Amino acid sequence: MTLISPWRADFPGLLALDREGQTYLDSAATAQKPQTVLDALLAYYAGGAANVHRAQHLPGERATRAFEATRDKAARWLNAADREDIVFTRGATESLNLLAYGLEHLFAAGDEIVVSAAEHHANLLPWQQLAARRSLKLVVLPLTPQGDIDLQQATTLIGPRTRLLAVSQLSNVLGRRQALHTLIQQARDGGALTVVDGAQAIVHGRQDMQALGCDFYVCSSHKLYGPDGVGLLYGRRGALQRLQHWQFGGEMVQQAGYLASTFRDAPLGLEAGTPPVAGVIAFGAALDYLGSLDAQAIGNHEAALHRMLLAGLHGYAGLRLLGEPETALACFTVDGVHSGDLAHLLTEQGIAVRVGHHCAMPLLQRLGVNGAIRVSLALYNDESDLQRFFAALDKALELLR
């Protein structure tokens, strides 16, 4: 009996791709959306769009209520202490750029920012730019061969000059869950701020901010089965208040004058202008959808598919995995085969996988490869997707060798 996802039929986009003969194995880049998310988007527009936080009228009140309900849902999903710890942004990338700008005033020349070698560009370049602006030193934590942050080396690299630690909880290339507790504790004990990039980790289950203990956490809706153009920034009480205001305009102002103005506190003080109202409401629908499913069953399904993926890949001579992925993805190269050529042949057979540097160019350089293929799975994938992938891989490698 082949493994079938009980949730596949909830995703019209995936069914449409099926009809087109496309096998979608790129969910780590963006996930397909369940019908309930599409319904929520349509309901907002078809039911009468209205701006939030301003209007007294019924549609405005309704939109504000639905928009703010997502703040409650996100706070519960993250076990944040307070709904006001959640700031809506346009995505994880914007959240990280907001942080790198908003915290700039806290840094002095010579301070150190610590990241890991496995960061997505979104959690590297904003800090690199900040380091250049303020003459800071960027310190990179090395990885073990499996792909974990080397905690022993981290102990010596996180030191008295460390002002900020910014690390991803789960790499989009290596698929390793990082043990961040000790790192975060160590950084905080030394007086550093801590930022966790949860863009991949949150896809695999609820997170507990109070247990994790970080100051800031970022993620995107679109990888979590919600619409794109929406993300969030979590900041523990007091941490958000240290961010300087960054975008100025409507709604973030307390008292505006021609020559000077005063601004609101977070979260609304960091949400200038009209937000993506429909997107935020539909993000709430994505959280409702996931919350209605059996998390254990999803975890088991993804783990079973992942074991099949790894077992299948191990059968190919000369195929090299990057790291030892623990979650629903695998990045690999094949000796003597150009990844671009291989990806081209897979694409021609309707297999939607990712090829290239996966927004982690320095990591791939460090691993000694200039491109790799990534297969990533989500709760809606079936064993049949993997069977089609392996059949296409056989054919492609036959042609290339």
Question: In this complex, which beta carbon is closest to ligand PLP, that of residue 173 or of residue 305?
Answer: 173
Q: Mark residues 186-215: x for contact with ligand PLP by CB under 6 A, - for none.
A: -----------x-xx---------------
Stretch that binds ligand PLP, among 47-55, 87-95, 338-346, 385-393 (CB under 6 A): 87-95
Closer of 200 and 381 to ligand PLP (Cβ): 200
Give the separation between CA 371 and CA 340, rounded to whole angstroms.
8
Check binding of 122 to ligand PLP (CB under 6 A).
yes
Joined together, the tokens standing for residue 235 give: 């900041």
Find, among 124, 210, 198, the residue nearest to 164 by Cα: 124
The residue from 14, 37, 63, 92 that contacts ligand PLP (CB under 6 A) is 92
Q: Which residues contact 76 (CB under 8 A, 6 or more apart)?
A: none
Smallest distance from ligand PLP to CB 115, Å: 12
- Among positions 23, 27, 70, 93, the unique one binding ligand PLP when judged by CB under 6 A: 93
Residues 168-187 contacting ligand PLP, CB under 6 A: 168, 172
Q: Which is nearer to ligand PLP, 218 or 305 (CB)?
A: 218
Of 217, 199, 223, 198, nearest in space to 37 by CA: 223
Binding residue for ligand PLP, selected from 116, 220, 327, 333, defined by CB under 6 A: 220
Residue 286 CA to residue 33 CA, distance in Å, equals 8
Q: In this structure, what token pair is assigned to residue 153? A: 């080396």
Residue range at the interface with ligand PLP (CB under 6 A); choices 15-23, 120-128, 249-257, 383-391: 120-128
Closer Cβ to ligand PLP, 209 or 396, answer by number: 209
Q: With the CA atoms of 387, 388, 393 and 394 taken in that order, what torsion angle do they form, in degrees rounded to the nearest 10? A: 70
Q: Which is nearer to ligand PLP, 10 or 197 (CB)?
A: 197
Q: Read off the tokens for 396.
A: 């492609």
Query: In the stretch 44-83, what mask flags binding to ligand PLP with x, by CB under 6 A?
Result: ----------------------------------------
Beta strands in 142-289 (DSSP E): 162-168, 193-197, 216-220, 231-235, 253-256, 261-263
CA distance 139 to 2: 47
Q: Residue 344 in contact with residue 356, Cβ under 8 Å?
A: no
Catalytic center residues: 359
Strands 112-116 and 253-256: unpaired
Check binding of 91 to ligand PLP (CB under 6 A).
yes
**Contact flag: residue 149 with ligand PLP (CB under 6 A):** no
- Residue 118: CB minimum distance to ligand PLP, A: 9
**Residue 361: CB minimum distance to ligand PLP, A:** 14
Instruction: With CB under 6 A as the rule, give the number of residues binding ligand PLP.
Output: 13
Q: How does DSSP assign 27-39, residue by residue?
A: TTT-----HHHHH
* Among the listed residues 120, 204, 236, 388, the single contact to ligand PLP using CB under 6 A: 120
Report the alpha-carbon distance of residue 25 to residue 329 in Å, rounded. 9
Q: Pick out residues in 1-20 that bind ligand PLP (CB under 6 A).
A: none
Name the residue nearer to ligand PLP (CB basis): 115 or 199.
199
Q: Max Cα separation, the chain? A: 72
CA distance 13 to 6: 16
- 148 or 382: CB nearest ligand PLP: 148
| Least gap, CB of 215 to ligand PLP (angstroms) | 17
Whether residue 267 has a cis bond before it, omega within 30° of 0: yes
321 membership: H or E segment, kind and range? strand 319-321
Identify which range of 51-59, 78-86, 91-99, 208-216 contacts ligand PLP by CB under 6 A.
91-99
Residue whose pair of structure tokens reads 């307070």 in the numeric block: 82
Q: List interacting residues with ligand PLP (CB under 6 A).
A: 91-93, 120, 122-123, 168, 172, 197, 199-200, 220, 222
